[in-house]
Chain A
Amino acid sequence: MSRNAQNDHLTRLEQTSIHVFREAFANFRSVCMPWSMGKDSNVLIWLARKAFCGKIPFPLLHIDTTYEFPEMYEFREKAKAIHGIDLIVRINEDAIRRGIGYATHDPVTVTHELKTVPFKAAIDEFKWDALVTGIRRDEDPTRAKERWFSPRSAEGNWDYKDQPPEFWGQFASVAPEGGHVRVQPLLEWTELDIWEYIRRENIPNPTLYFARNGKRFRSLGCHPITHPVDSPASNIDEVIEELKLTKVSERAGRAQDHVGRNSMQELRAKGFM
Chain B
Amino acid sequence: MSTSSLPSPAAAQAAAQAAAEDQRKMHVVVVGHVDHGKSTFVGRLLNDTDSLPNGKIEQVRKNCAAEGMEFEYAFLLDALIEEQEQNITIDTTRIFFRTTQRAYAIIDAPGHKEFLKNMVTGAASASAALLLIDAKEGVMDQSRRHAFLLSLLGVKQLVVLVNKMDLVQHSQETYDKIRTEYTAFLKSLGLHAVHFIPIAAKHGENIVNRSTKMAWWTGPTVTEALDGFAHEDDLTGLPLRLPVSDIYRFDHRRIIAGRVEAGAVRPGDELIFQPGGRRSTVRTFEDWPGPESRAVVGTGGSASVTLSEQIFVERGQVASHPSNQPRVGREFRARIFWLGKEPLVPKKTYKLRLLTQNVDAVIARIEKITDASTLESIQADSVPRDSICEVVVRTTHPVAFDLHHECAVTGRFALEEAGRIHGGGIILDAHKEQSAREGKVTAAERGARSGHAPAVLWFTGLSGSGKSTIAELVERRLFDAGRQVFRVDGDDLRTALNRDLGFSAVDRAESVRRASAVAGLFANAGHISLVTLIAPLAADRAKARAALSNHAFIEVFVDAPLDVCEQRDVKGLYAKARRGEIAEFTGISSPYEAPESPEVHIRTDKLTTDQAVDLVLDALDKVLRSKAEDWEV
Structural contact, A8 and B88, CB atoms closer than 8 A: no
List chain A residues, Cβ under 8 A from B301.
6, 11, 15
Give the chain B neighbours of A80 by CB distance below 8 A: none
B424 touches A167 (CB 8 A): yes
* Residue picked from B257, B286, B409, B413, most chain A C-beta under 10 Å: B257
Give residues 209-264 of B contacting A (CB, 8 Å). 231, 234, 236, 245-246, 248, 250-251, 253, 255, 257-259
Contacts of A8 in B (CB 8 A): 23-24
Min CB gap B385→A, angstroms:
12
- Cα distance, A160 to B288, chains bound together (Å): 36
How far in angstroms is the closest Cβ of chain B from A61?
20
Q: Mark A18-31, 1 if CB is under 8 A from B, else 0.
A: 11001101100000
Residues of chain A with a CB closer than 8 A to B286's CB: 53
Q: With A26-B245, A168-B412, A172-B419 known to touch, is A244 a contact of B4 (CB < 8 Å)?
A: no
A246 CB contacts on chain B under 8 angstroms: 4-5
Give the contacts of A1-45 with B (CB-CB under 8 A): 1, 4, 6-12, 15-16, 18-19, 22-23, 25-26
In the bound complex, how far is the Cα of B622 from the Cα of A92, in angstroms? 39
> Which residues on the A side are within 8 Å of B23 (C-beta)?
1, 8-10
B236 pairs with A6, CB closer than 8 A: yes
Q: Is A141 an interface residue (CB 8 A)?
A: yes
CA distance A232 to B355 in the complex (A): 47
Known contacts A15-B259, A161-B88, A168-B124, A230 near B418 by CB under 8 Å: no
Q: Nearest residue in B to A190 (C-beta to C-beta)?
A: B96
A259 to B149, CA, bound (A): 42
Cβ-based interface call for B562 (8 A) = no
Are the CB atoms of B82 and A141 closer together than 8 Å? yes
Q: Are B2 and A244 in contact (CB-based, < 8 A)?
A: no
| B289 sits at the interface (CB 8 A) | yes
Is A141 within 8 A of B81, CB to CB? yes
Q: Which of A19, A51, A164, A165 has the most CB of B within 10 A?
A: A165
Chain A contacts for B124, CB-based, 8 A:
167-168
Contact A174 to B418, CB < 8 A, known contacts A165-B117, A229-B3: yes
A115 to chain B, nearest CB (A): 21
Q: Are B288 and A50 in contact (CB under 8 A)?
A: yes
Interface assignment of B493: CB less than 8 Å from any CB of chain A:
no
Shortest Cβ distance from residue A77 to the other chain B in the assembled complex, whole angstroms = 21
Q: Which of B9-17, B156-164, B197-205, B594-602 contacts A (4 or more CB under 8 A)?
A: B9-17
* CB of A132, distance to nearest CB on chain B (Å): 16
User: Is residue A234 within 8 Å, beta carbon to beta carbon, of the partner chain?
Assistant: no
Among candidates B2, B4, B86, residue contacting A242 with C-beta atoms closer than 8 Å:
B4
Report Cα–Cα, A48/B16, bound state, in Å.
Answer: 31
CB distance from B336 to the nearest CB of A (A): 13
Chain B residue nearest to A170 (CB atoms) is B414
Does chain B have a CB within 8 A of A157?
A: no
- Quick one: given A167-B414, A174-B419, are A249 and B53 in contact (CB under 8 Å)? yes
Interface size class of A (residues with CB under 8 A): 35 or more
Question: Is there contact, CB below 8 Å, between A7 and B24?
Answer: yes
Contact between A248 and B4, CB atoms less than 8 A apart: yes
Tell me the complex Cα distance, A16–B11, Å: 32
Q: Mark A155-177, 1 if CB is under 8 A from B, else 0.
A: 00000110111111110111100
Cβ contacts under 8 Å, A55 to chain B:
250-251
- Which residues from chain A contact B304 at a C-beta distance below 8 Å? 53
Closest-by-CB residue of B relative to A241 is B12
The interface bits of chain B over 466-508 (1 if a CB of A lies within 8 angstroms of the residue's CB, else 0) are 0000000000000000000000000000000000000000000
Query: Is A198 positioned at the interface, with any CB of B under 8 Å from its CB?
Result: no
Q: Are A22 and B251 in contact (CB under 8 A)?
A: no
Query: A6-B298, A12-B300, A166-B421 in contact; A54/B289 too (CB < 8 A)?
Result: yes
B120 in contact with A167 (CB, 8 Å)? yes
CB contact under 8 A between A253 and B289, given known A52-B250, A262-B85: no
Q: How far is the CA of A55 from the CA of B248 in the complex (A)?
A: 10
| CB pair B289 A49 closer than 8 Å | yes
- A54–B424 contact, CB under 8 A? no
Q: Does A207 contact B (CB under 8 A)?
A: no
B136 at the interface (CB under 8 A from A): no
In the complex, chain A residues whose CB is within 8 Å of the CB of B289: 49, 54
Provided the pairs A19-B259, A25-B246, A53-B248 are in contact, do residues A227 and B1 lie with their beta carbons within 8 angstroms?
Answer: yes
Known: A164-B420, A170-B353. A247 touches B54 (CB 8 A): yes
Residues of A163-216 contacting chain B, CB below 8 A = 163-170, 172-175, 188, 190
Q: Which residues of A contact B117 (CB under 8 A)?
A: 165
Contacts of B416 in A (CB 8 A): 170, 173
Interface residues of B in 1-33 (CB under 8 A from A): 1-7, 11-12, 15-16, 19-20, 23-25
Taking the closest CB of chain A, its distance from the CB of B268, in whole angstroms, is 19
Q: Is B24 touching A174 in the complex (CB atoms < 8 A)?
A: no
> Which one of A7, A53, A174 contacts B234 once the chains associate, using CB atoms below 8 Å?
A7
> B302 near A26 (CB under 8 angstroms)?
no
Contacting residues of chain B (107-146) with chain A, CB-CB under 8 angstroms: 117, 120-121, 124-125
From 214 to 260 in chain A, residues with beta carbon under 8 angstroms from any chain B beta carbon are 227, 229-232, 241-242, 244-249, 252-253
Find chain B residues with CB under 8 A from A6 CB.
Answer: 236, 297-301
A23 to B54 Cα, complex, angstroms: 38
In-complex Cβ contact of B300 among A10, A15, A174, A265 (8 A): A15
Known: A49-B288, A160-B89. A245 touches B12 (CB 8 A): yes
Chain A residues within CB distance 8 Å of chain B: 1, 4, 6-12, 15-16, 18-19, 22-23, 25-26, 49-55, 57, 137-138, 141-142, 144-145, 147, 160-161, 163-170, 172-175, 188, 190, 227, 229-232, 241-242, 244-249, 252-253, 261-262, 265
Instruction: Report the 6 A-B pairs with minimum CB-CB distance, sorted nearest first.
Output: A174-B419, A167-B124, A9-B23, A245-B7, A252-B2, A54-B288
- What are 30 A-B pairs with beta-carbon distances under 8 A? A1-B23, A6-B300, A9-B24, A9-B25, A15-B300, A18-B259, A23-B245, A26-B245, A26-B315, A26-B356, A53-B287, A138-B94, A141-B81, A141-B82, A142-B88, A160-B88, A160-B89, A161-B89, A165-B121, A167-B120, A174-B420, A175-B419, A230-B3, A232-B6, A245-B12, A247-B52, A247-B54, A248-B2, A252-B1, A261-B85
